Amino acid sequence: MAQKRKINHKKSASKKAGAKASGRKKPADNLDSMLDLLDGIEKETARILKGNLADDWRENLFEIVMTRVDLAAPHKKRLARLPEFVRADPAAVPQLARRYWGTMKRILQLADAPARKRHVAAFGVLYASIIDTFLKDDTRDHAKTMAALDKRLGLFGQFVDFCSCER
């Protein structure tokens, strides 16, 4: 079942996240500036969605991820360079892995979804595949990304149900 967006905030929010993340008009192209951008997207997502989420964690995850996609869209070409920055600084991989884990956990917590280690790990894989789809998505409305997200969240829901774990 395809999900529909509940909150429309693309234009002003994406500009805000980019401005907050970089602190300057033209962002530097390095790993630190990339991490600043990602931090800005995370903070802006939480600000936009706080108090606007539903009681269903599945719907919330969809809104959170699509809000992040909307905020990241103006920076898509820059974000696609992240692997290049990582290859240039392989010693940063452990720090990046910890940051990624923390981000995945915070997304699940914001959604009020199960967030045990197994859930964070599974969601992290799902999220990486969504970002890959987003970076290749050439539709203006992110239709391919939304369709992939809807399918992946269905799989994640099955995983959570299979584990039948409490939060």
Please compute the mean of the pLDDT values over residues 99-119 and round it to a whole number.
Answer: 96
Question: DSSP character for 30?
Answer: S
Please compute the mean of the pLDDT values over residues 89-110 and round it to a whole number.
Answer: 95
Question: DSSP character for 26?
Answer: S
Q: How confident is the model at residue 142 (pLDDT cuts 50, 70, 90)?
A: very high
Let me know: does 142 contact 73? Beta carbons within 8 Å.
yes
pLDDT at position 5 is 55
Which of 15 and 88 is assigned the larger pLDDT?
88
Rounded-to-integer distance, Cα 9 and Cα 105, Å: 24
Rounded-to-integer distance, Cα 73 and Cα 19, Å: 14
Rounded-to-integer distance, Cα 151 and Cα 167, Å: 22
Burial bucket for residue 66 (CB in 10 Å: 0-12, 13-18, 19+): buried
In the structure encoding, which two tokens stand for residue 126, read together?
Answer: 């799902």
pLDDT at position 29 is 76
Rounded-to-integer distance, Cα 154 and Cα 112, Å: 16
Q: Work out the percent of the chain whose per-residue pLDDT is above 70.
A: 81
For the cut 90, the answer to whether the pLDDT of residue 66 exceeds it is yes
Residue ranges of domains in the chain: 10-163
pLDDT at position 145 is 98
Rounded-to-integer distance, Cα 77 and Cα 61, Å: 24
